Amino acid sequence: MKLGFSPRRQDFPAGAPGYRAYAIGDIHGRLDLLEDLLAKIHAELQHRPAPKCLLVFVGDLIDRGPSSCQVIERLRTYSRPGIQPVFLLGNHEEVLLRILRGEPQLASFAKWRRFGGSECLQSYGVNLNELANLTESEALAVVRSAIPRNHVEFLESFVDSCRFGDFLFVHAGIRPGIQLEQQTQADIRWIREPFLLDDTDHGFVVVHGHTICESVEERPNRIGIDTGAYRTGVLTALGVEGTDRWLLDTRSSVRES
């Protein structure tokens, strides 16, 4: 599933007319950084109001950091006048949903725990020591009982992409040379190379997370905004309005002009 907001193309990439968008990078269970960045976005909107605003979360809200449950609850109940949130499904959410659906052949429970699932489970109150003594089927039953149904339904409502004028928001990227309508979910949620190494014009600028970079990686055909929040303490948002774009992160101050 994808969302679309007025595709357009001109000499310099522009957002959808009449809208401002903020794309927020991979949060990975860092509620503290999320609250900090949301406060800065809200303050910027107060200083420089926008007629309509999208808040696009590019996926990987969960795992690795200490507060996956709290991040999900904060965003599940997020509501602010004039702001429309858009949630994209990241590979970490995909794995959790597969596990909850009983697809261990596609998403290993043990592997998920090693790349951030254990921290996610702890945020839901699961005792990892007790989990270690259970069979995989027993452990999966504990996981299913620990994660509220409304959290699962929230994750299941996420979309794969959002077109915003000359920008495309996705989690990981796209496969070069393939039309947007033919992109697979696996590529949109998981791809690194050849997308990261490709320099061709896709017909839009791809804004993505998934691959950590020391600072925002801006190229003519893509902008990578995953600044490794869970380990660096830096959560980043890209603002887009018309042909203007700028960055906010957990180290920056609000733009006054």
Cross-strand partners of 53? 20, 83
Percent of the chain with pLDDT over 70: 92
Tell me the pLDDT tens digit for each residue of 204-233. Answer: 999 999 999 999 999 999 999 999 999 999
- Identify the pLDDT of residue 104: 59
Sign of dihedral through CA atoms 106, 110, 111, 113? positive
Can you give the CATH number for the domain in which 30 is found? 3.60.21.10
pLDDT reading at 251 higher than 60:
yes
The confidence score (pLDDT) of residue 8 equals: 53
Please tell me the predicted confidence (pLDDT) of residue 132: 86
- pLDDT over 90 percentage in the chain: 85
Question: Which of the 8 DSSP states describes residue 221?
Answer: T
Q: What is residue 10's predicted lDDT score, i.e. its pLDDT?
A: 52
pTM of structure: 0.94
What average pLDDT does this structure show over 197-209?
A: 97
Q: At 254, is the pLDDT very low, low, confident or very high (cuts 50, 70, 90)? A: low
In a domain, 140, yes or no: yes
Q: Is residue 46 part of a domain?
A: yes
Alpha-carbon distance of 146 to 121, in angstroms, equals: 8
19 in any annotated domain = no
256 within some domain: no
Range of the domain at 243: 2-6+24-249
pLDDT tens per residue across span 108-123 = 788 899 999 999 999 9
Q: Is residue 119 part of a domain?
A: yes
Q: How many domains does the chain have?
A: 1
Average pLDDT over residues 170-185: 97
Mean pLDDT of the chain: 93
The pair of three-digit structure tokens given for residue 193, joined into one six-digit string: 């190379």
Task: Give per-residue pLDDT as tens, 29-79.
Answer: 999 999 999 999 999 999 999 989 999 999 999 999 999 999 999 999 999
Decide if 15 is inside a domain: no
Residue 148, preceding peptide bond in cis (omega within 30° of 0): no
Domain assignment present for residue 203? The answer is yes
Beta sheet of 2-5, edge-to-edge order? 2-5, 161-164, 167-170, 205-208, 222-224, 217-219
- 160 vs 185: CA distance, rounded Å: 7
- pLDDT score, position 252: 76
- Torsion angle of C-alpha atoms 94, 95, 100, 106, degrees rounded to 10: 110
Residue 244 has pLDDT above 60, yes or no: yes
Residue 110 within any structural domain of the chain: yes
The pLDDT score that the predictor gives to residue 97 is 95
Give Cβ neighbours of residue 82 (< 8 Å, ≥ 6 apart): 45, 49, 50, 52, 53
